[in-house]
Structure 1
Amino acid sequence: MRFIKLFFLSVLCFGILIFLISLLLPSKAIVERSGVIDAPLSTVYAEINNLNTWPEWNPWTAPGVAQKIEFSNPPAGQGAFYTWSGMQQDKPVSGKVLIRESTPQKGVYYNMEFNTMKPVVAAFELKPSVDGKGTAIQWRLETKLGMLPWWKLRGFLSDRLTGPLLEDGLTKLKNICEQKK
């Protein structure tokens, strides 16, 4: 009986310790990557503003991730959206991407929702490159994690988990835009 009490007390203390440590972690996860695309701002904007082009370069619309994608009509500009669904690890997954703001001078700002994840506020911010011949782009994802320790731990690891996907997407986008210039 004494062993059982000690075990439960240890589990309780460990849980409290994990919660207190999680209070030190930020309640927001931000992942961002940037680069320069050697193409005019109008070419890059046209590619990121039209959701129909996203499957060519966006890692979350790749065939292995999103088996079924439905686009709004029109598929570009403020208010445009797409929904997706598929299977990952034998579990159904689904989500929605909605463009909430889109301007050629600033970029595209959108929301992503996943059925098993926290909502993500994201943006492609655009500006002319320093030399004026290309486009500087920054892809930013921001997630509000709340106070639960397991979400904060996931947020702590989000740059390692999501960063390479953003880099891959920007590389593909760069190649596509530079071919179109």
Structure 2
Amino acid sequence: MLKKISMGVVAALVLFAGFVATRPDTFTVTRSATVPGSPDIAFGLVNDFHQWNQWSPWDQLDPNMKRTFGGAESGVGATYGWTGNDDVGEGQMTIQEASANESIRVKLEFIKPFASTSTTHFTFKPASDGTSVTWTMTGDHNFISKAMCLFMDMDKMVGKDFEKGLASMKTAAQAEATKRAEAEAARKAAAEAATAPAVAAPTP
């Protein structure tokens, strides 16, 4: 009896492994949103890792998270490493490509809770009411991640974070757009005041 049960378990495991092996070898998660302001505002929020704390959906998950910045100050070659609790794990990002106000490609490397490497790509396009930002993540599945995806929807899980991040980016972009508009209004007012004709003092 025990032998039959063991053989049944082995057969089930073989069938499960075979089914897992048929799952897709790659994954793609993408979300888009329109954020306020011109493309250079949203581009700047992504191109400088020092700005990610304003909108990253993971940045607030661990108040004690340790961050390290390296390489270039921003743009190609800039790196951002983090170590935190179980919610954020440990990893590093590196900006590999950056086309001003148009697109950014980032290499994303997780170390903990499990090792993996993927690519995130941001595109920025002018829209009638701001800038259309598209955030995409692509990568390869190994056997373990294929098995995990049988029990969880990666698109919904990661996509929810992307949606939260893009919503926060809207807030950060709006703040920057407002700041720029106020600075421009003040500049124009000062210029107009400087060129306005002087008012003669009344004669006694």
TM superposition score category, shorter chain reference: 0.7 to 0.9
What CA RMSD, in Å, does the superposition of the two structures yield over aligned residues?
2.0
Q: 1:14 aligns with which of 12, 15, 21?
A: 12
* Total equivalences in the alignment: 173
* Residues 63 and 86 of structure 1, relative CA distance in 2, 3 Å threshold: same
Q: 2:166 aligns with which of 161, 170, 173?
A: 170
Q: 1:97 aligns with which of 93, 100, 104?
A: 93
Aligned to 1:145: 141
Paired residue type of 2:70: S
- Determine the C-alpha separation between the residues in 2 that align with 1:144 and 1:64: 27
Aligned to 2:24: 26
TM-score by length of 2: 0.78
> 5+ unaligned residues in a row in structure 2: which ranges?
178-204
- Say yes or no: does 1:113 pair with 2:109: yes
Q: CA deviation at 1:154?
A: 3.0
- Determine the C-alpha separation between the residues in 2 that align with 1:154 and 1:31: 16
Deviates more, 1:165-174 or 1:113-122: 113-122
After superposition, where does 1:58-69 map in structure 2 within 5 Å? Answer: 58-64=56-62, 67-69=65-67
More relative contact order, 1 or 2 (CA 8 Å, 6+ apart): 1
The list of structure 1 runs, each at least 4 consecutive aligned residues, that deviate by more than 4 angstroms after superposition, is: none
* Residues 17 and 118 of structure 1, relative CA distance in 2, 3 Å threshold: same
Q: CA deviation at 1:82?
A: 0.9
Aligned to 1:154: 148
- Say yes or no: does 1:40 pair with 2:34: no
- Determine the C-alpha separation between the residues in 2 that align with 1:65 and 1:154: 28
Q: Secondary structure at the match of 2:82?
A: strand
* Residues 56 and 66 of structure 1, relative CA distance in 2, 3 Å threshold: farther
Percent identity over the alignment? Answer: 22
Aligned to 1:124: 122
> 5+ unaligned residues in a row in structure 1: which ranges?
none
TM-score by length of 1: 0.87
